[in-house]
Structure 1
Amino acid sequence: MDTATRVVVITGASQGIGAGLVAGYRRLGYTVVANSRSIGESDDPSVLAVAADISRPGVGERIIDAAVQRFGRVDTVVNNAGIFIPKPFTDYTDADYDAITGVNLRGFFDVTRAALRVLGPGGHIVTISTSLVDQANSHVPSALASLTKGGLNAATKALAVEYAGRGIRVNAVALGVVNTPMHDPSTHDALAGLNPMGRLGEIDDAVDAVLYLEQAGFVTGEILHVDGGQSAGH
């Protein structure tokens, strides 16, 4: 166990942006604790895979405990896991509500709370949010995303102020539409039109933003928009 190497915990790490974040932090020399519900074991000894559902009480603490037991410390948490279900508000079901709030809110709460108990000076928490919080779109009805991610934006600022005295930074990255396997290629042109730049974001755009915040020691309480101008308007 090398307790001198910095350690990052990444949720939703099995594919898409999460997998990109694992690779990005490894390039920085971090060891990684990678979580998702169905993640498989890694061939990289510096990546510990923890398969677990963060919407379930107690799982967040178990992930942080696993990080400390394996690597001796936690320096950064990236709350990347999230559920997005676009629907007209009255079409949402109780099951939709439970699924979205379970991952987006309960997962954030449990992982972040456990991490803040062990993070020291120089610690960092980053949460992935959405620009739909700032720029709603009638073509993408997503009130439950705004309910949860808007709350996470507010919590980001509150925690940044609360923990600044301990030398811990707290930030968020508000994304536009990113080109991941969840979007059918037939929808790409329409989705690209949701922002002034007229293209989808790429996984590297999201990863670069998180890694910028990781290394920006004087930035805290920031909601960094990476959305092709979506939050600015149309």
Structure 2
Amino acid sequence: MSTSQKVVIVTGASQGIGAGLVQAFRQNGYKVIATSRSIKPSTDPDILAIAGDIGDRATAEKIISEGVARFGRIDSLVNNAGIFIAKPFTAYTQEDYKSKLSTNMDGFFNITQLAIAQMEKQGNGGHVVSVTTSLTDHAIDGVPSVLASLTKGGINAATKSLAIEYAKRNIRVNAISPGIIKTPMHGAETHAALGGLHPMGHMGDIKDIVDGVLYLDNAAFVTGEILHVDGGQSAGH
């Protein structure tokens, strides 16, 4: 078992931004612990795929224990898993509310707490970066986003709090705040309309978010940052 390479956990890793992150981290020499509900085993010996619901504490415990057993350490965590439910506020059901909080908030809390505890045990610092949304800064008429703002806005606030709490232990905590990104959840027929919601007039690509995450992971003097990668959305219209 070699511990010479950095080891990163990526949640929500089976498609879209998560899959792009796994690929990019491997290309940059990281070993990757990739997790999602539906993820399949990898033939790459430097990718450990763990299927499970990130909102379940037992899944988070499994990710850390099996990841450390396989690779010997945890250096970085990317909290990418999240769900978006676009409904008018009064149309949300209790099930919508529970599922959103389970994935977005419980998932963040469980794996972040355990990952930071492991980083503290190792004693050589670490990094946590969470994928949030610029809708928390700039709501858009016609895009109902109360539960996104409630959960991802909370993670933005927690990011700054954790950054200060762990700064002297060299554990950095940041977030990346995307606009609307071209992923499988958005059909090609929606791209023009969704692109028009950004001041730059187009959607972002998965690579835009991947590049931002890689920057933050290597930016040793950056912590408590909410990096907006959103075509100007957070600045206004």
Structure-2-length-normalised TM-score: 0.97
Shift of 1:57: 2.6
Q: What does the per-residue CA deviation read over 1:121-153, in whole Å, with 9 as the maximum and x for residues that have no partner? A: 330000000000000012101100000000000
| 3-state SS, counterpart of residue 38 of structure 1 | coil
Shift of 1:157: 0.2
| Residue aligning to 1:23 | 23
Does residue 227 of the first structure (1) align with residue 230 of the second (2)? yes
| 3-state SS, counterpart of residue 147 of structure 2 | helix
Shift of 1:60: 1.1
Query: What's the RMSD between the two structures over aligned residues?
Result: 0.7
| Residue aligning to 1:139 | 142
Instruction: Give distance in 2, aligned partners of 1:220 and 1:121.
Output: 16
Q: What does the per-residue CA deviation read over 1:187-217, in whole Å, with 9 as the maximum and x for residues that have no partner? A: 1111001111001100000000000001110
| Residue aligning to 1:54 | 54
Shift of 1:39: 0.3
Instruction: Give distance in 2, aligned partners of 1:155 and 1:62.
Output: 24
Match of 1:155 among 153, 158, 182: 158
Which amino acid is the alignment partner of residue 186 of structure 1?
E
Does residue 175 of the first structure (1) align with residue 150 of the second (2)? no
| 3-state SS, counterpart of residue 86 of structure 1 | coil
Does residue 129 of the first structure (1) align with residue 170 of the second (2)? no
Which amino acid is the alignment partner of residue 113 of structure 1?
Q
Instruction: Give distance in 2, aligned partners of 1:139 and 1:66.
Output: 43
| Residue aligning to 1:112 | 112
Instruction: Give distance in 2, aligned partners of 1:57 and 1:159.
Output: 20
Instruction: Give distance in 1, aligned partners of 2:127 and 2:27.
Output: 18
Sequence identity percentage: 61
| 3-state SS, counterpart of residue 20 of structure 1 | helix
Instruction: Give distance in 1, aligned partners of 2:57 and 2:128.
Output: 20
Shift of 1:58: 2.4
Which amino acid is the alignment partner of residue 97 of structure 1?
Y
| Residue aligning to 1:102 | 102
| Residue aligning to 1:190 | 193
Q: Which runs of 5+ in 1 are unaligned?
A: none
Shift of 1:4: 1.8
Shift of 1:231: 0.3
Does residue 218 of the first structure (1) align with residue 215 of the second (2)? no
Structure-1-length-normalised TM-score: 0.98
Runs (4+) of structure 1 exceeding 2 A deviation are: none
Does residue 68 of the first structure (1) align with residue 68 of the second (2)? yes
Q: Which runs of 5+ in 2 are unaligned?
A: none
Instruction: Give distance in 2, aligned partners of 1:43 and 1:173.
Output: 30
Tell me how many residue pairs correspond in the alignment: 234
Instruction: Give distance in 1, aligned partners of 2:20 and 2:66.
Output: 22
